[in-house]
Amino acid sequence: MSKSKEIEAATGVLNYLNQNNRPYSAVDIFNNLHKEYGKTAVVRSLEDLANNGKIREKVYGKQKVYVADQSQFPTVEENELKEMDLKIAQLKEKVQASETEARKMENVLHGLNSTMKTEDVKSKLLETTKECKQYKERIDKLMSADNHIAPEEKNKIYSDHKTFVKEWRKRKRMATEITNAILEGYPKTKKQLFEDIGLETDEEYSVKPPDI
């Protein structure tokens, strides 16, 4: 290895130990530096730095551990350590709260992605409402007619009516679930959400699914 490469490796290793100020083995440092320097270069740099008094070497059985020279760091008072510990605890709480919120939002997003889009639901709801109204008008007309219809046609009409009313209720329930999911993270009111996305409701037109 060239002299410049040796100096570069030694500088990188020294900076890493000083910045993190934690004990590491040669393998730890080699991996944590993303293998930027060869393992042999890292080991040699640690040994040279320790021999020159720039870092400290501790031997535990067959394991060697290296740490930054603590004399270069200012002395920390006991109350400062307590303040640091308190700040670390507060930051950990914030991290945990953020992770919980992130998981909650991921669940909401997953739910929204697995259902129909709002525009599709709105379009389908209006379409189903229109069809139900047309079928109801047809049924009313047929029921009030003087002439009789075939039993098969009558049964089909009632069957279709039941099917479309069920579909209406199903779509209405889906639309309600989706808007409720959106509202969990929506900063405005439900009324404002409906206005923003242009969603029209049965209540606006004084209609509701008929009994079946």
Q: Is 212 within the bounds of a domain?
A: no
110 & 201 share domain:
yes
Region 96-123 average pLDDT: 82
Q: Is 187 within the bounds of a domain?
A: yes
When divided into structural domains, the chain yields a total of 2
pLDDT for the residue numbered 47:
94
The four Cα atoms 118, 119, 120, 126 give a dihedral, to 10 degrees, of 110
Q: How far apart are CA 75 and CA 30, in angstroms?
A: 29
pLDDT for the residue numbered 110:
80
pLDDT for the residue numbered 53:
92
pLDDT for the residue numbered 14:
93
pLDDT of 117 > 90? The answer is: no
pLDDT of 121 > 90? The answer is: no
199 & 134 share domain:
yes
Find out whether 55 and 16 touch, Cβ atoms under 8 Å.
no
115 & 160 share domain:
yes
Q: Is 135 within the bounds of a domain?
A: yes
Q: Is 210 within the bounds of a domain?
A: no
When pLDDT is cut at 50, 70 and 90, the band that residue 148 belongs to is low
Range of the domain at 9: 3-72
Range with the lowest mean pLDDT among 36-45, 55-64, 139-148, 153-162?
A: 139-148
pLDDT for the residue numbered 208:
84
Please state, in angstroms and as integers, the Cα–Cα distance from residue 120 to each residue in 36, 47, 128, 202, following that order. Answer: 53, 68, 12, 16
pLDDT for the residue numbered 66:
95
CATH of the domain at 25: 1.10.10.10
- Per residue in 1-43, pLDDT tens? 677 888 899 999 999 999 999 999 999 999 999 888 999 999 9
Q: Is 83 within the bounds of a domain?
A: no
